[in-house]
Amino acid sequence: MWKEKYKIGVERIDQQHEELFRRVEDFIKSVRSEGEWELKQEKVKETLEFMSMYVVTHFADEEKYQQEIHYPGYEEHLQLHIRFKEEVGKYVARFNDTGFDEELVQEFGGKLMAWLIYHVAGADQKIGAYAARLGGGKE
């Protein structure tokens, strides 16, 4: 699912994006595969934990970089990050309340994939384009 065109030209952030894509792709393959539902539930828990922790690190790095280059879309981008963290938090709460039913797991996988593609292929590309106009972008 990762495509080279998703790179924004900032090595640290590009590596984190690749890892996010790899994890989400692995998650989706796992929940769509044949096999025991208990194993799939473990993958959901693992992915929730990873997303809850890793995006905090990734978002902090991305936000720091935006501040370093005085990115004019910083506040708007920050709101996208806040909303995503809230969404993941809502799924954590739903899974805790209702359990890991297959329909909710599929919904979560779809949301993760859609958000990741939209965010990295859209909003994050604007950061790379701005950095490139400054003559930077490479670390």
| Whole-prediction pTM | 0.84
Q: For the ranges 21-25, 36-40, 81-85, which has the lowest average pLDDT?
A: 36-40
Specify the higher pLDDT residue, 53 or 8: 8
CB of 21 closer than 8 Å to CB of 47: no
Predicted pLDDT of residue 136: 58
In this prediction, residue 137 carries a pLDDT of: 52
Short-list 27, 26, 49, CA closest to 106: 27
**87-72-12-139 Cα dihedral, nearest 10 degrees:** 180
Fill in the amino acid letter for 55.
V
Q: What are the tokens at 77?
A: 């981008």
Q: What is the mean pLDDT of residues 16-29?
A: 91
| Averaged confidence pLDDT in the chain | 89
Q: Give yes or no for residue 10 having a pLDDT over 80.
A: yes
Residue range 23-49: mean pLDDT, rounded = 82
Among 58-62, 97-101, 110-114, which stretch is predicted with the lowest mean pLDDT?
Answer: 97-101
pLDDT band at 121 (very low <50, low <70, confident <90, very high): very high
Q: Span 8-133: which CATH code? A: 1.20.120.50
| Residue spans per domain, the chain | 8-133
Residues 68-79 have a mean pLDDT of: 96
> What pLDDT score does 9 carry?
92
Give residue 139's pLDDT.
46
- 10 Å CB burial of residue 50 (0-12, 13-18, 19+) is middle
